[in-house]
Amino acid sequence: MNIQKILANIVVVVGFVVVPFIPFLVFGGSTFFPFIVGKNFAFRVVVEIMLAGWIVLAVIDPVYRPRKSVLLWVLGAFIGIITLSALLGENPAKSFWSNFERMEGVITYFHLFAYFVVASTVLTARKMWRPYLNLHLGAGVIMAIYGVLQWAGDFTIVQDGIRVNGTLGNAAYLGTYALFNIFIALFLMARESMTTIGEKARIAIYSVIILLQIFVLYHTATRGAVLGLMVGIGITTILVAVFARERVVLRRTAIGILVALALFVGGFIAIRNATFIQQSPVLSRFSSISFAEQTTKSRFMVWGMAYQGFKEHPVLGWGMENFNYVFNKYYNPKMFGQEQWFDRAHNVFFDWLIAGGIPALLIYLSIFGCAAYCIWRRATSLSVVEKSVLTGLLGGYFFQNLFVFDNITSLIYFVTILAYIEGLHQIESMPRESEAILRGRKLKAENRKNAEEAEDFTSVVSGGAIIFAFILIYIVNYNGYKQNTVLLRAVSERGEQGLEHNLSLFKEALAYDSYGTAEVREQLGQLSMNGFDSSKGISETQGKFISLAVSELALQAKELPNDARYQVFAGSLLSRIGHFDEALPYLIKARELSPSKQTILFELGSAYYNKKDFTKAEEVFKMAYELAPEYGDAKKFYISILKVNGNNEELAKVLHGE
Domain boundaries, the chain: 61-432, 574-658
Distance CA 303, CA 621 (A): 28
The structure's pTM equals 0.93
Rg of the chain over all Cα atoms, to the nearest angstrom: 28
pLDDT value of position 531: 64
Q: Residue 453 — pLDDT band, cuts 50, 70, 90?
A: low
pLDDT of residue 555: 97
Q: Which of 48-57, 285-294, 415-424, 480-489 has the lowest mean pLDDT?
A: 285-294
pLDDT category, 285, cuts 50, 70, 90?
confident
Side chain identity, residue 493: E
User: How high is the pLDDT of residue 248?
Assistant: 85
d(CA 223, CA 179): 12
Among 234-243, 419-428, 442-451, the range of highest mean pLDDT: 234-243
Compute the distance between CA of residue 282 and CA of residue 211 in angstroms, rounded to an integer.
17
- Do 31 and 485 touch, CB atoms closer than 8 A? yes
DSSP string, 64-108: GSPPP-HHHHHHHHHHHHHHHHHHTSS-HHHHHH--TTT--HHHH
Q: Is the pLDDT of residue 185 over 50?
A: yes
* Residue 6, burial from CB neighbour count under 10 angstroms (0-12, 13-18, 19+): exposed
Q: HSE on the CB side for 301, CA within 13 Å? A: 21
The closest alpha carbon to 363, from 308, 316, 424, 421, belongs to 316
Look over the chain and give the mean of its residue pLDDT values, rounded to a whole number: 91
Determine the Cα angle at 22 with ends 522 and 523, to 5°: 5
The answer to whether 435 and 59 have CB atoms below 8 angstroms apart is no
- Return the CATH architecture of domain 574-658: Alpha Horseshoe (1.25)
Strands (E) across 254-349 are located at: none
How far is the C-alpha of 293 from the C-alpha of 286, rounded, in Å?
11
Angle made by CA atoms 241, 243, 249, in degrees to the nearest 5: 50
Mean pLDDT confidence for 302-306: 95
Closest to 269 in 3D by CA, of 292, 249, 286: 286
Query: What is Dmax (Cα atoms) for the chain?
Result: 103
Mean pLDDT in residue range 605-632: 95
What whole-number percentage of the chain has pLDDT above 70?
94
pLDDT of residue 428: 55
d(CA 241, CA 234): 11
Classify 330 as helix, strand or coil. Answer: coil
Q: What is the mean pLDDT of residues 434-440?
A: 49
Rounded to an integer, the average pLDDT of 120-144 is 96
Q: How high is the pLDDT of residue 90?
A: 95
Give percent of the chain above pLDDT 90: 75
Distance, in Å, from the CA atom of 15 to the CA atom of 7, rounded to the nearest integer, reads 12
CB 190 within 8 A of CB 381: no
